[in-house]
Amino acid sequence: MNAVMPQSTSAPEQGSSAAVFAVEKVNLLGMTRPELEQFFEQLGEKKFRAGQVMKWIHQFGVTDFAQMTNISGKLREKLEKVAEIRAPEVVHRNYSKDGTRKWVFRVGDGAGSLVETVLIPANDKTGARKTLCISSQVGCALDCSFCSTGKQGFQRDLTPAEIIGQLWVANQSYMEDVPVAERSRTVTNVVMMGMGEPLLNFEPVVASMALMLDDFAYGMSKRRVTLSTSGVVPMIDKLAETIDVALAISLHAPNNELRDELVPINKKYPLEQLIPAAQRYLAKDGNESSRKHITIEYVMLDGVNDKAEHAQQLLKLLKDLPSKINLIPFNPFPHAPYGRSSRNRIMAFQKTLSDAGFVCTIRQTRGDDIDAACGQLVGQVADRTRRAERWQKKVASQQGEILRTQGD
């Protein structure tokens, strides 16, 4: 069966003869250039149509084939019949006063199929750098002990359309009132650092990052697309073979004992495997600017991983790994077993690392007026959705009761 052509569904359309089958339209949003070229060739069209359509979709945010004016009317009609451009449904959005934007997307049925995306503008005069944090899975199986997403469990992998759709919607949010001809892409940086472990949803994540780098789509530079992993060692090597993007490691602990507790995948791939994998990633041929250093993420948990001895252990661990360290003040969520390190503790930790020659930054806490930790907004929306579902069921059962009573 061909993956890129429209498929007949097995059930006949309601009210039609059994011989007529509904055709499921192909969603072009998540297709890479080679896939789209194949799609057009199978339609009997030239390959270059792929680039044209990609520009309409990703650069101008156009979903209606009728607006694609450099494509013949006949081809547009053909596309209407077999294809569509469909982003995941936005069920909640929130724009903070400080410029942070958050979206919750529904990517399936029920309260458990929600993912969130956050856009953070740089905290400088221009605010020109806009970084989008994208989710790769619904929930997460890795259950890091400080993570709100991990507490929701794993639901499923996102498709390429659901992953790139988050970037598409974020750009679109700045284009809505702009005439098509004047539209431009606003998001400048992407980090695959939202819900889920991106290396455990490898192909869809790589396909989405290929679209981010493609000049016919988002044309982002390799060093502005970052994949963040908790440390799936074999997949770090596979990533190095597959695509050239920047790498971040969610480290959070400077020794195995503590990391086993905070990031349980460490039991499978301990630090003596993880650090060499990061070194191999940087040493890979074709070393571009994206591979000059690894970003190390380190969440600051009060009294847990933020002591002077931890800073010293971290220095030792990273001494042969070109790295930039990003200290992340913990955002507590309901029932979280940790608290946020004090400002003084974080500053002291930073000083130790900076004095030793590392570039060490402290992540600004942003968007506080719209929610707190990653995964938390989904929790809140899911709670509301579940409440709404319960309420709808209650109303339906009460209506059934009334009808039954009337029929008696």
Annotated binding site for S-adenosyl-L-methionine: 196-197, 228, 250-252, 331
Q: Binding pattern to ligand SF4, positions 185-214, x when CB under 6 A?
A: ----------xxx-----------------
Please, which residue, 143 or 302, has the CB nearer to ligand SF4?
143
Q: Does 172 bind ligand SF4 (CB under 6 A)?
A: no
Is residue 137 helix, strand or coil? Answer: strand
Among 88, 121, 150, 204, binds ligand SF4 (CB under 6 A): 150
Of 87, 142, 239, 248, which one interacts with ligand SF4 (CB under 6 A)? Answer: 142
Q: Which is nearer to ligand SF4, 121 or 379 (CB)?
A: 379
Residue 249 touching ligand SF4 (CB under 6 A):
no
What string of DSSP letters covers 81-114?
HHEE--PPEEEEEEE-TTS-EEEEEE-SSSTT-E
306 sits near ligand SF4 (criterion: CB under 6 A): no
Q: Please report whether residue 144 would count as binding ligand SF4 according to CB under 6 A.
A: yes
The residue type found at 68 is M
Cα(213)–Cα(223) distance, integer angstroms? 10
Element (H, E) at 405: helix 376-407
Between 150 and 160, CB nearer to ligand SF4:
150
Q: Which residues are annotated as a binding site for [4Fe-4S] cluster?
A: 140, 144, 147
Using the rule CB under 6 A, which residue among 59, 113, 117, 149 binds ligand SF4?
A: 149
CA 385 to CA 396: how far, in whole Å? Answer: 16
From 37, 116, 162, 297, the catalytic residue: 116
230 sits near ligand SF4 (criterion: CB under 6 A): yes
Burial 295-305 (b: 16+ CB within 10 A, else e): bbbbbbbbebb
Are residues 247 and 202 in contact, defined by beta-carbon separation less than 8 angstroms? Answer: no
Minimum Å gap between C-beta 151 and ligand SF4 is 8
Q: Write out the two tokens for 177.
A: 């009132």
Residue 360 catalytic? no
Q: Binding site residues, as ranges? A: 140, 144, 147, 196-197, 228, 250-252, 331
Is residue 231 a contact partner of residue 249, using CB atoms and an 8 Å limit?
yes
166 near ligand SF4, rule: CB under 6 A: no
Q: Is position 374 annotated as part of the catalytic site?
A: yes
Pairing of strands 359-362, 83-84: unpaired
Residues touching ligand SF4: how many (CB under 6 A)? Answer: 12
Number of H helices, E strands in the chain: 12, 16
Considering only 8-16, 91-99, 143-151, 181-189, which stretch makes contact with ligand SF4 by CB under 6 A? 143-151
Phi-psi group of 117: left, alpha or beta (phi > 0 → left; psi -120 to 50 → alpha; rest → beta): beta
Give strand ranges (E) for 313-404.
Answer: 323-329, 359-362
Which residues contact ligand SF4 (rule: CB under 6 A)?
140, 142-144, 147, 149-150, 195-197, 230, 250
What is the set of active-site residues? 116, 374
